[in-house]
Amino acid sequence: MKTIVLAGGAGFLGRLLTTHFRARGDRVILLTRSPKPRRDGVLETRWDGATLGSWVADVDGADVLINLAGRSVNCRYTAARRAEILESRVRSTEVLGLAVARCVRPPRVWLNASSATIYRHATDRAMDELDGEIGHDFSETVCRRWEATLEAARTPFTRKVALRLAMVMAQAPGSALPEFERLARFGLGGAMAGGTEYVSWIHADDFCRAVDWIIATPDLAGPVNVCAPQPLPNADFLRELREALHVSFGFPPARWLIEIGAALRRTESELLLKSRRVVPRLLEESGFCFRHPRWSEAVRDLFGLEPLPAPSLQAG
Ligand SMILES: NC(=O)c1ccc[n+]([C@@H]2O[C@H](COP(=O)([O-])OP(=O)(O)OC[C@H]3O[C@@H](n4cnc5c(N)ncnc54)[C@H](OP(=O)(O)O)[C@@H]3O)[C@@H](O)[C@H]2O)c1
C-alpha cells in the first residue's frame, strides 16, 4: 500500500486517479481549497495552493506526490484570467517544492501536471520529448513556466516528472469527451475548420496506467508526453466519434463559426483548433504498452461498445 498525495486532486483527473488508487488499496490524501468530510477513506486536507501550512505534514512520509492544481483553461482569456491560469500553476508547483524540501521523509517521486499543448501548432510532423518544438504563445508560455518551476525545485531525494498531458478521455464530467459527444449528437460533429488540425488524446484507463508506469520507472524523469501513440486529424477523430454514436451526419463548421461559438460559450477556440500532434516517445521507449492506442477502438470502448471484428485475411 502506498500513500499518494494529490494536490488539486478534487478535479477531473484527481477523481480518476483517486478511484484508480483506492481500488488498489492505496491511501489517498487530497489537497484542496475546500475540503469536505468523506466516507470512502480518502482524506481531504486544506491548502491554498500558494503558501506553506499544516498540510506539509501530509506530504512528509508520502510515497508519491501528484500535482494537478490549476485554474481551468476552459474560459475566455481576459488579462485577469490569464494571470490566474499562470499563477495557480506556478505558485502551487513552487510551494510544493518548498514543502518537499522541508520533508524529513520526502516522497520518492513527484509528478506535476503540464500539457501537451506546450508544443507548437503542428500538422507537419509529430512532436516528441526529444525533438519536439516548444511554442511561444500564451498557453505554451504557461506550460514552459510551469515546467521551469518544477525543474527549479530543490528536491534532491525526489524524482520529478512533468506530465505533458493530452486530453484525457472519459465518460465523466470535466473530460472533453462529453462535450464532443454533445456536439456530435446535435449534428455539429463534422470536420472543424477544414479538419486538418490534429487531436492528441489518451483513454482514461491508459492515463491511470501511464501514471503507475511513470511512478514505477526510475529512468523516467523530466518531461514525459502522456498521450496515445496515434494522434489524428480532427476530421478523422470526429468521424470515428460519430460512427461510435451512430450519428450519420456532422455539420463541418468553418473557423469563423467556431470562433463565434467559442465566444458565445465563454471559452477559447484555441482549445478546439490548436493542432496538437504529440507522441509518447519516452513512454513507449521505456516499454509502456497502451491498451487503447487507436482512437477508432478507444472511442468504442469509451461508449461501452464491442470492438469491431478484425479484418479477415484472404486465403491464398
Ligand atoms: N483534463 C485533461 O484532459 C488535461 C489535459 C491537459 C492538461 N491538464 C492539466 O492537468 C491539471 C488537472 O486537470 P483537471 O482536468 O483535473 O482540472 P480540474 O478538474 O479543473 O481540477 C483542477 C483543480 O485545481 C484546483 N484549482 C483551481 N484553481 C486553483 C487555484 N487558483 N489555485 C489552486 N488550485 C486551484 C481545483 O481544486 P480545489 O478547488 O479543490 O482547490 C481543481 O479541482 C490541470 O492543470 C490541467 O490544465 C488536464
Pocket flag, ligand 1, residue 199 (CB < 6 Å): no
5, 6, 12, best to mutate for ligand 1 pocket (most atoms within 8 Å of CB): 12
Amino acid identity, position 104: V
- Please, what's the b/e burial string for 293-304 (b: 16 or more CB within 10 A of its CB; e: otherwise)? bebbbbbbbbee
CB of 280 closer than 6 A to ligand 1? no
Contact 163, 172 (CB under 8 A): no
Residue 14, ligand 1, Cβ within 6 A: yes
DSSP letter assigned to residue 43 = E
Residues 79, 82: Cα–Cα separation, whole Å: 5
Is 278's C-beta closer than 6 angstroms to any atom of ligand 1? no
pLDDT at position 306 is 84
Ligand 1 midpoint to CA 72 (Å)? 6
Q: How far apart are CA 316 and CA 308, in angstroms?
A: 24
Ligand 1 centroid from CA 307, angstroms: 32
What single string gives the DSSP state of each residue in 267-290?
A: S-THHHHS---B--HHHHHTT---
Name the burial class of residue 87, with classes exposed (0-12), middle (13-18) and buried (19+) by CB atoms within 10 angstroms of its CB: middle
Measured in Å, residue 7 CA sits from the centre of ligand 1 at: 9
| Model confidence band, residue 315 (pLDDT cutoffs 50, 70, 90) | very low
Residue 66 Cα to ligand 1 midpoint, Å, equals 12
Residue 314: pLDDT above 80? no
Positive or negative, the Cα torsion across 52, 54, 55, 61?
A: positive
Q: What is the mean pLDDT of residues 129-150?
A: 97
Residue 33 has pLDDT above 90, yes or no: yes
The verdict on the CB of residue 252 being under 6 Å from ligand 1 is no
244 Cβ contact list (under 8 Å, min separation 6):
299, 300, 302, 303, 305
The C-alpha atoms of residue 169 and residue 226 are separated, in whole angstroms, by 12
CA nearest to 15, candidates 128, 170, 158, 185: 170
The domain 3-167+202-227 is placed in CATH, from the list 3.40.50.720, 3.40.50.2000, 3.40.50.970, 3.30.360.10, at 3.40.50.720
pLDDT above 80 (res 111): yes
- The domain locations on the chain are 3-167+202-227
Residue-wise pLDDT for 219-261, tens only, equals 999 999 999 999 999 999 999 999 999 999 999 999 999 999 8
Kindly give the distance from the C-alpha atom of residue 2 to the centroid of ligand 1, in angstroms, as a whole number: 23
> What is the mean predicted confidence (pLDDT) over 297-302?
98
pLDDT of residue 197 exceeding 50, the answer is: yes
What's the 131 CA to ligand 1 centre distance in angstroms?
28
Identify the residue whose cell numbers are 512532436: 127
Backbone angles phi, psi at 80, to 5 degrees: -65, -40
Residue 309 has pLDDT above 90, yes or no: no
- Mean pLDDT of all residues belonging to the chain: 96
Q: Is 11 in the pocket of ligand 1 (CB under 6 A)?
A: yes
User: In which residue are the cell numbers 486536507 written?
Assistant: 45
**Rounded distance, CA 261 to CA 88, Å?**
27
Q: In angstroms, rounded to a whole number, what is the distance separating the alpha carbons of residues 117 and 165?
A: 8
